[in-house]
Structure 1
Amino acid sequence: MNVGFIGLGVMGKPMAVHLVDAGHQVVVFNRSRPKVAELEARGAVGGTSPAHVGEKADVVVTMLPDSPDVEEVLFGAEGVVSTLRPGSLVIDCSTISPDAAVTIAARLAAMDIAFVDAPVSGGEAGAIAGTLAVMMGGEEEAVRRAGEVLTAVAATLVHVGPVGAGQLVKAANQMLVAGNIALVGEAVTLLQRTDVDVDAALTVLGGGLAASKVLEAKAPKMLARDFAPGFRVDLHYKDLKIALAAAERAQIAVPLTGVITQLVQALRSAGDGGLDHSALIKSLERLSGTSSDSR
């Protein structure tokens, strides 16, 4: 299949690699040229613009930071749609607002181009391993076509509803992940302030009902003060704002998500927005009047 891929970030680059390895003819574009060169070395074709990608592809996958980025890549002066043929498919794996996904789908439908919103979960590790969870919103036939491409990057592919539904499920995902990280941070902070063997404590916690992928992946990073970004605080803040807006439209209360969003905002205000979201422990430590940064 001729597949275009735009956005070779922390997760996008390994996703594009999996598509190449699966045997697709892949043309890639990214603002940073060195990442394009890395994919060319793996067998991809380097695109010179989004329009170049659209010219070469039957299916275009976007993996970008936010709604304006997706809209610019698709509809800008050198956008994908200026060359993409009718009957083609756009799969957006970015995390954007559900409303933006619906608007993008309508604009593409007017050009006879199908659209699936397909945000992913699993982080950098899942992207590298090809074990992402993909929540797909769109019409059944478009979702079927998208699945033929995304099976190369995912362990779980689920059609969750019409266009925009994928983004709503991703909002719920980001609520759960942020809440879990916050509680892991609180638990780790408590353990570090006592006389218990922290490593032993985490081992037993990981063997019971408290076990989670977040505990497994993020507690060691907190203990090691390793906040190199796998998923940046700034991006999780953006996702939580999307979740809060969705809750507002649904007229439901999400008090825990509100509190955690404020903790994440405090990190950003302290200049930590570029760190991994496991750095949420730093907000909790500051509230307790202590910081492990010097340890």
Structure 2
Amino acid sequence: MGSARPHGGGRQQVSDSTTKPRVGVIGLGAMGLGSATVLHERGLAVVGCDVSAAARRAFEGVGGRCAANPAELAEQCDVVLVVVVNAAQVEQVLFGEQGLAHALAPGGLVIQCATVAPSLAERLGARLAERDLLMLDAPISGGAVKARAGQLSVMASGSEEAFAKAGPVLDAMAATVHRLGDSPGIGSSMKLVNQLLAGVHIAAAAEAVALGIRMGLEPRRVYEVITHSAGNSWMFENRVPHILEGDYTPLSAVDIFVKDLNLVHETGRELAMATPIAASALQQFTAARGAGFGREDDSAVIKVYQRLTGIALPEAANDGGQ
């Protein structure tokens, strides 16, 4: 196991043009677009790819170039970031009919950033190795804002060769890189620990605010008091303002935690380990998805309590509420 490696001073390393890799970013959603943009701004040659025409236009709008599919992108790149939503998309991007594994030159590197099961990350690494390709198992954390600022936290595992090849890219996109081991699967394991805690904390924050409202407390006062008390958490402090503003524009959607907490559940089952607290949070996010809130911000899990108890949630100033 390695320790965290801060990258604050390392970004100067990419100024030497001989060390600059040609970088592809597949998945130009909130985090992928932010990372692609900051890589482009910091002088790397970046090609993007996304099934969404709007996402492609957004990257082109900041001066980026886009490829039609992952294979076309891979032909132009040495290092490819995969920042898609789920395991099925990762499989398609890597090994589908127009997958990048068919076109990336031997010795090329895949930096796999999606949250997937550790067992899948291990298999992906082995399949890429059969094609003489490197893989860094590198889930990311920090959200769209930190992605755009180049301040992500990366939980990475892979060979020394993979880390060396990834260096200029990680220097540009991350504030901290946690070097966790020498093979794929370890990074994804750590990300599941993070997602268990993140999902539970969001669900708990929503329940706490809902309880406060049900007892007649003013929600802004709840936020003010709790953020200065022992019950505070990073997720409470970050997500409750979305509720207070009645703004559920997705920065991280309910559907993401349905997926990620289900991965926690499935991994626990593989290990014959119960995860009852994560399971409870999963049920709340699943209920929110079932009520039609899956594509809203994950703080919309509080709307489950609104449905059950009739509590009045704060309304958005611009549209009169939900």
State if a TM-score over 0.5 links the two structures.
yes
Q: Structure 2 unaligned runs (5+)? A: 1-20, 316-320
Q: Which amino acid in structure 2 is aligned with residue 93 of structure 1?
A: C
Shift of 1:32: 1.7
Correspondence for 2:231: 210
> Following the alignment from structure 2 to structure 1, what is the Cα–Cα distance between the partners of residues 244 and 35?
29
Correspondence for 1:110: 130
1:30 and 2:59 are equivalent in the alignment: no
Distance 1:204 1:290, change over 3 A: closer
State whether residues 115 and 138 of structure 1, in contact with CA within 8 Å, keep that contact through their aligned partners in structure 2: yes
> Following the alignment from structure 2 to structure 1, what is the Cα–Cα distance between the partners of residues 276 and 42?
43
- Three-state SS of the structure 2 residue aligned to 1:266 is helix
State whether residues 147 and 157 of structure 1, in contact with CA within 8 Å, keep that contact through their aligned partners in structure 2: no
Q: Please show how residues 186-225 of structure 1 align to structure 2 within 5 Å.
A: 186-225=207-246
Q: Please show how residues 1-295 of structure 1 align to structure 2 within 5 Å.
A: 1-161=21-181, 162-290=183-311, 292=313
How many residues are aligned here? 295
Distance 1:77 1:248, change over 3 A: same
> Following the alignment from structure 1 to structure 2, what is the Cα–Cα distance between the partners of residues 293 and 220?
10
> Following the alignment from structure 1 to structure 2, what is the Cα–Cα distance between the partners of residues 289 and 15?
40
Instruction: Provide TM-score, normalisation by structure 2.
Output: 0.86
State whether residues 282 and 291 of structure 1, in contact with CA within 8 Å, keep that contact through their aligned partners in structure 2: no
Distance 1:210 1:247, change over 3 A: same
Correspondence for 2:13: none
1:233-258 per-residue CA deviation (whole Å, 9 max, x = no partner) reads 11210111111111112222211111
> Following the alignment from structure 1 to structure 2, what is the Cα–Cα distance between the partners of residues 69 and 178?
22
- Three-state SS of the structure 1 residue aligned to 2:294 is coil
Q: Structure 1 unaligned runs (5+)? A: none
State whether residues 95 and 102 of structure 2, in contact with CA within 8 Å, keep that contact through their aligned partners in structure 1: yes
Shift of 1:73: 1.2
Shift of 1:99: 1.8
State whether residues 221 and 278 of structure 1, in contact with CA within 8 Å, keep that contact through their aligned partners in structure 2: yes
State whether residues 214 and 311 of structure 2, in contact with CA within 8 Å, keep that contact through their aligned partners in structure 1: no
1:109-165 per-residue CA deviation (whole Å, 9 max, x = no partner) reads 011100011111112222223222111122233133324312222222101233111
> Following the alignment from structure 1 to structure 2, what is the Cα–Cα distance between the partners of residues 190 and 46?
47
